[in-house]
Amino acid sequence: MTVPRLLGSFAPGTASAPSSPLLVLLPSLGTTSALWDGVVSALRADRRTAGLRILRVDLPGHGASPATADGFTIGDLADAVLAVVDEAGGGAFHVGGVSLGGAIALELAVAHPDRVLSLVTSCSGSRIGTADGWAERAASVRASGTASLVTGSADRWFARGFLDRDAGGPSASTLTALVDIDDESYARCAESLAAFDRTAALGDLAAPTLAISGEHDTVTTPASMQDLADAVPGGRHVSLDGASHLAVLEEPATVAELIASHLDTAERAGAATIAAARGMRVRRAVLGDGHVDRAIAATTPETAAFQDFLTRYAWGEIWDRPGLSRRERSIATLASLTTGGHENEIAMHVRAALRNGLTRDEIAEVLLHTALYAGLPASNAAFAIMRDVFAEQDAAASAPGRGEPATPPAPDTPSATDTSATPDDTP
């Protein structure tokens, strides 16, 4: 098996800046990247996707991609698509595909989860058809050429009456293009589908997934596409009324709307994931792994959203801003907590201040300065908490083999009787 050479091109009129999000579109067996023309035009007109870079890649011996006589797998085709993406600038991308293109897109999401931001699979599946059926198709094309497939493809690809309604439209040129596809390359593509089955991997798929089907598709039925979406965590399935196997050509505006919404949601989710990862890194650096691990372990269904809120917005946004150093933020935090009388948070942030580089004398100076504006009782309470934290750390340091205390003092640990305690650390 070999990785074939594929060629792709950016759709005219789409964004070209390397910093713009990238959408890779793959056609079905027997079609070229022109299959996506109507969808691309609609995506360009949508404000949510007007800034996309849209890269369309042709299959072996289809459209612009050179023919091949060598065998290949769906995994090889996925690697070939990655090569095109890397030539175009690389990075992570959204991917969508129809039928065989959808299988390649699914393979990319399974085998290269770090590269795929979201997945759209239209009239496709984790397994399509049967090995015997694809072997027969390959043998038929080798014997009679792709021209022999036109009539059968017209029946499979389009809903009844669509060709008449679309007379002179893209459906006719799609069938004409089938005749020009290299016979051996088509046969090799069919054989790659015969061995493809990623059903067992669907439950581990991380990319946000949208499955699109056509109401009248007898190849990859709406029921089979629903099964695929159900198997993928968070997967979504939409069946298009009146469409068949080439739903992206029959209903381009609807497909574009679905893709635009899907990508918008995925981009937002991706940004949230990045913020959460950044926030967790800062949170651990400031508070220490022990404290954060205890907070996470204590998470309940009722406090999970609050945990996420703290991590993404407080630690991932405010605490990670460059305008103040973490040392300076600790000073501001201690002064604010003391002024507000938030005694249950002070001990945690005394420890955080030490981790952020303040000395004990500097922490005491902050509390002394705060007394001038917050009042003596507030600072007196804060000094008492500070003293307890220092004593706790001295005791831990003097005990052989002791590090951070296994159990934090009361102000950090919510309890059944302490209704003032929060369910997590508050920055």
Confidence check: pLDDT of 418 > 50 = no
Confidence check: pLDDT of 406 > 70 = no
**pLDDT number for residue 423:** 41
Predicted confidence band of residue 50 (pLDDT cuts 50, 70, 90): confident
Q: Report the range of poorest mean pLDDT among 21-25, 184-188, 195-199, 415-419.
A: 415-419
- The overall average pLDDT reported for the chain is 90
DSSP 53-108: EEEEEPPTTSTTSPP--S---HHHHHHHHHHHHHHTT-S-EEEEEETHHHHHHHHH
**pLDDT number for residue 407:** 40
Beta strand pairing call for 22-26 and 8-10 = unpaired
pLDDT (tens digit per residue) in 285-300: 999 998 899 988 999 9
Q: Is the dihedral of CA 165, 166, 168, 174 positive or negative?
A: negative
Place of tokens 């596409």: 225
pTM for the complete prediction? 0.71
pLDDT (tens digit per residue) in 345-385: 999 999 999 999 999 999 999 999 999 999 999 999 999 99
Predicted confidence band of residue 58 (pLDDT cuts 50, 70, 90): very high
Q: Is the dihedral of CA 152, 154, 160, 164 positive or negative?
A: negative
The encoded tokens of residue 9 equal 């091109």
Place of tokens 């600072």: 379
| Domains delineated in the chain | 8-250 (3.40.50.1820), 291-412 (1.20.1290.10)
The encoded tokens of residue 75 equal 């995994």
